[in-house]
Structure 1
Amino acid sequence: MAVDTTSDRQNSAIPDIESLAHPTLDERGRQRFASALRRYAIQDMPEAVHDDFESRIRPAAEARGTVFDSARAIDAAMEKEPSYQLYSALRYNAQEMCFLSVQDEVERALPEMIAVARDAAERNPAGGSLRLDPDLEIPRYVTALDVHLTPGCFHSEWIEDDVAQGAVVSLGARVFSASMNFRSWGGVARVISRWIKHKRPDFRPLRILDLGTSSGKNLIPYADAFPEAEIHGVDVGAPLLRWGHAIAEHMDVPIHFSQQNAEQLDFPDQHFDLIVSSFFFHEIPVKATRNVLAECRRLLRPGGLMVHQELPASNLVDPWEDYFWNWDTEHNNEPFYTAFRAQDPIALCEGAGFDAGRSFAHILPDVNSYPDRHSEFDWDEPGRPRHGKGGWYVFGSSLPE
């Protein structure tokens, strides 16, 4: 059962806020260079570093008695090696450049962007909504550093009704992923919704919630996959939500955005049939993860489902892959990365009140890489793709009817 990745939605009267940023020729060249550099640093260079480890470093170290049975052992061996140091330096700088490369165009267009976002919030022609809480206490795990090396992080506001961080995060991520625009995103949602329709063909969610929704890029495909559902997205960053709301209203997708901390939400018990997230839990402390999963348990209706796309748990991957994922902990301002991945996802779900027997941790096939495959991969299946290379890691659970 394939998921239609196109949409026949017509744009509403709200202008396209994303198109208001006009990079100069020099800025566009810088952005393309940053995209190419990051793609090289994240895709090609790790293979070269791995080859160096396997062909040169591992044999010499094992001859001295070193046992490479963990990411920590590999890290100790690689830390001072030139191949690793060059890779790490390039990857760090490419990450910063992606977001820095869009700042000038955002600053020039900011007044017009704010006007469009205000218009969207006042008129809501698509039927969505934007609910902000100026008194919300932003968690310190967000305010203490610029997560992802994004200047200003997700939450910072410089002027009234600010959308600058929404623009920097969204347009910078477009450079980061070499995507053309917002509409080309949402791949995770398409993967998950396709899998849900395969596993539970009779599942008809009436309300869907996306945690840490950012600008809602992974919400719009759920609206296409489940057109009868009421769609909600929560995040602590008001600029992200203003930006995302303007895009959704422009695309004529009724999404209800609200500024809330996912550890304690104001929705009533058993309010949602489907709760999702993407790249969210590794950004928060493990204690907060437990609180969020407990909220998911409270908010899910009987028969409900939660599916969280994340980074694969350490116990599910080999030492080298574990080592590769942990780079972000020390170098990308994501200090909870390794601690989250060290958790057993089934145990996390069980600790939140879910049945371990109904919980799961899977690699789902990417829609583009495996257009005809709808079922998850077995962990010991020959040829199983890695997360981010043909597959997406998800964990979650469901409630009985």
Structure 2
Amino acid sequence: MKNSFRATLVASALVVTLTSVPAFGAGPGVTDQEIVLGQSAVLEGPASALGLGMRAGLQACFSQVNEAGGIGGRKIRLLTKDDGYEPDRAIACARELISQENVLLLIGGVGTPTANVITPICEEAKVPFVGAFTGAATLRTPFKKYVVNVRASYGQEMEKLAQYLVDSKKLTRIACFHQNDGYGQAGLSGIQTALKKRNLELVATGNYERNTTAVKAALLDVKKGEPQAIVMVGTYKACAEFIKLARKFGLNDALFCNISFVGTKALLAEVGEAGEGVVISQVVPSPYTEDLPVLKEYQAALKKHQPAMQPDWISLEGFLAAKFFCQVAEKTGKELTRESFLATIQKVGTFDLGGLTLQFGPEDHQGLDAVFLTQIKGGQVVALP
């Protein structure tokens, strides 16, 4: 009886050992059975839809890949820590994922203020930080070896909005409502640069504190500039509150423009009828069409593996980041390490995700550059021509 019990213990220990010891030639977070990735993102609070959306997109793709046998027989496991969209918590999450959980890399981070503190941690530990849901310039310039961006930058989004507002609609009185942190400053700087190219300046600015909806003071500051258009750099609850209050305060003729990080579907739900005519820039194609093979794949994977989630731009961005990771990992082969992962990106350069192509270069770690404009009309989000 004792021998039988001892044999069971030995067998159990052997299973644990075999699933936890790194595979020969592979790096941290990689065994013969699995690849472990980490995500620090907001899962609760007024910006939770952003983190939940990114996680859903990542998980939909990874579940689909795992169902088909994984990457070279290795299943992908994603560990997500809730950072509350706060830098201090993001630091703790990143350190725990890297030092304690020993993940291969971090993927799908959410937000500029959090990404700005995670980046130096990853650089010091030489851990790739892939596909963050932010377009901040701080993750792009100067070039950072361990930061790999999928999406276009906030500067590119602001340039697209300036083309629409100034070049096409001939508006000259532009104001900016922004979050009072790194995200808000990134967006503010982006629109200022775009306007400067057109010999214009903002007529007013107003800001609010992250993770709040206290926007009235900012609205009063913005209103003083008598703007024709207001570029908004915030999250969905705060931006919705601003738009609803602005309508009540007589800014009915102003054109409200949000950038992609706002969370389009969540904004639509929060703003209600006051959202009519609101413009939102996007950095991925519409999640509701089947124009590209990858969009069909995304919709099917989300329906099967994340049935509680409806398609939207955020989960699509997460899906694309995950699909990009899988392609790089597949091309890297058995000896998957943090350095070999990055080397594969440089060696291959171009990755076709299914009609959507990501391109990288020696000093370029941003895969996509396209920006699309959408607008709320009749309670729906439609493409602007």
What TM-score, normalized by structure 1, do the two folds share? Answer: 0.36
Which structure: larger Rg? 2
What TM-score, normalized by structure 2, do the two folds share? Answer: 0.37
